Amino acid sequence: MNRIEKLFSKKKKNILNIYFTAGHPTLNSVEEIICTLENSGTDLIELGMPYSDPLADGTTIQKSSAIALKNGMHLDLLFEQVKSARNKTQIPIMLMGYLNQLLQYGLDNFLDNCVDSGIDGLIIPDIPMEYYESKVLEKLATRGLKMTFLVTPETSKERIQQADKLSTAFLYVVSKSSITGNISGVSENQQRYFESLNELDLKAPRLIGFGIHDKDTFDAAAKNANGAIIGSAFIRSLEKDGVLGIKKFVEDIKGD
């Protein structure tokens, strides 16, 4: 059983998924951050593949990606670092990036390296579902890799159901129509949106992301899904407090 499947089979609520960019804040910090996140109580890690044109990301993640690239991060090194971390941890790890990165690397080669290094699944926000079904789905399935699709408040009911069907890891519920990094609270409109998803009889587990940045927003999201995703707020914490601040960051989110 895939590590992501094991997580969702054992834990149904309050799942904490933390995103950070590989190669940020330093080139060789991936393994230490992964292990510290697990030891601090994080359930799932979303590892960003630094990219020069991250369309869905706000300024915080864009900046972290630019720094990672300047530091010298590239996909071969990322795979090496994850493989090294796998000697110390079995926390589920997903790679998040863009379709062009996979195609430039070579899709089959990329997926083989995911398996070899211990990656459990992918989040590729700009991959069309139709392209995924015809070109990628079978390649992931034969390798035991999972996939996550994103839905937004503007996604039609039919597309939400299709994304739910194709999401073998979890369904990524974008809390609002914006880029990442917003720090406002959960609005009444968002609450109605979350509730509307409950009426669709969706099958995949759901995690809510975009704008989740503290205990209050995490708790609000977790009431409407299996858990939540925190990215920009964690990156800002890394920049301010470094690895030593991770334990307190996670504890503050979870209320431990």
Closest by CA position to 57, among listed 68, 72, 41, 70: 68
Active site residue 31: no
DSSP 199-227: TTT--S-EEEESS--SHHHHHHHHTTSSE
Active site residue 252: no
56, 103, 106 from 135: Cα distances, Å: 23, 11, 13
Strand partners, 227: 15, 207
Say which residue the tokens 């968002």 belong to: 190
Say if CB 140 and CB 95 are below 8 A apart.
no
The residue annotated as part of the active site, out of 57, 138, 195, 256, is 57
Given the residues 31, 38, 43, 46, the one annotated as active site: 46
Amino acid symbol at 122: L
Distance from C-alpha of 225 to C-alpha of 211, rounded to nearest angstrom: 15
Q: What is the set of active-site residues?
A: 46, 57
